[in-house]
């Protein structure tokens, strides 16, 4: 490896050292995995919210009520 007249490493070598250190360190991958998890959680919350506000939750509870098998009535009791 050749040093410049001032005794410094060439910029290319400095960059290569910086990149190799970054690749060797586990921190960025860990942070990325963490952010992926956070993104997945956010997506899941978004889907749940959309499902609820689409009226699916209400329909589902109505279906459950209408499926009453106590023998007194066929459909849901008047609420």
Instruction: Please write down the HEC assignment for all residues of the chain.
Output: CCCCCCCCCCHHHHHHHHHHHHHHCCHHHHHHHHHHHHHHHHHHHHHHHHHHHCCHHHHHHHHHHHCCCCCCCCCCCCC
| Position 15 in a domain | yes
pLDDT digits (tens, 9 = 90+) for 12-31: 888 877 777 666 666 666 66
| Domains held by the chain: number | 1
- Whether the per-residue pLDDT at 44 is higher than 90: the answer is yes
Quote the domain boundaries for residue 31. 11-54
2 located within any domain: no
Tell me: pLDDT of 37 over 70. Answer: yes
């Amino acid at each position: 490896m050749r040093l410049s007249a001032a005794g410094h490493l060439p910029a290319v070598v400095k960059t290569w050292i910086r990149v190799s250190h970054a690749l060797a360190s586990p921190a960025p991958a860990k942070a990325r995995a963490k952010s992926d998890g956070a993104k997945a959680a956010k997506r899941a919350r978004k889907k749940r919210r959309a499902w609820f506000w689409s009226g699916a939750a209400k329909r589902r509870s109505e279906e459950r009520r209408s499926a009453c098998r106590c023998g007194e009535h066929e459909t849901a009791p008047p609420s």
